[in-house]
Amino acid sequence: TQLLEQSPQFLSIQEGENLTVYCNSSSVFSSLQWYRQEPGEGPVLLVTVVTGGEVKKLKRLTFQFGDARKDSSLHITAAQTGDTGLYLCAGVGNQGGKLIFGQGTELSVKP
């Protein structure tokens, strides 16, 4: 069974700080997606990375896919209170192509 492990599970920081969230697996994924979920709402897709070593930037968010396509990271620069939420990584595995989600990282950015 393919698993995605996210770390840390919880992160509480001050506005303006930088942070990195990790998504790791012992298995290879053909692509990885990052979602953000706010309380009472469904996840919203932020980015999809498909090539090993790929780096994508979305304003203050930088996403990286590991060379071996087993891990990914999300780096947020100068966090804002609006970044607060649950960040989920999801990988396309070898089990019929279904999306496999990590447990999520609960981010709290305090003013």
Partner 1 sequence: DSGVTQTPKHLITATGQRVTLRCSPRSGDLSVYWYQQSLDQGLQFLIQYYNGEERAKGNILERFSAQQFPDLHSELNLSSLELGDSALYFCASSVSGRTEAVEQFFGPGTRLTVL
Which of the ranges 17-25, 55-63, 64-72, 95-103 carries the binding residues for partner 1, by CB under 8 A?
A: 95-103
> 111 with 13: CB under 8 angstroms?
no
Measured from the CB atom, the residue of 74 and 88 that comes closer to partner 1 is 88
User: Taking CB under 8 A as the rule, which mask of x and - marks residues 32-71 in contact with partner 1?
Assistant: -x------xxxxxx--x-x---------------------
Say whether residue 111 binds partner 1 (CB under 8 A): no
> 23 with 9: CB under 8 angstroms?
no
The CA angle 81-50-84, to the nearest 5 degrees, is 10
- Rounded to a whole number of angstroms, the minimum distance from the CB of residue 26 to partner 1 is 17
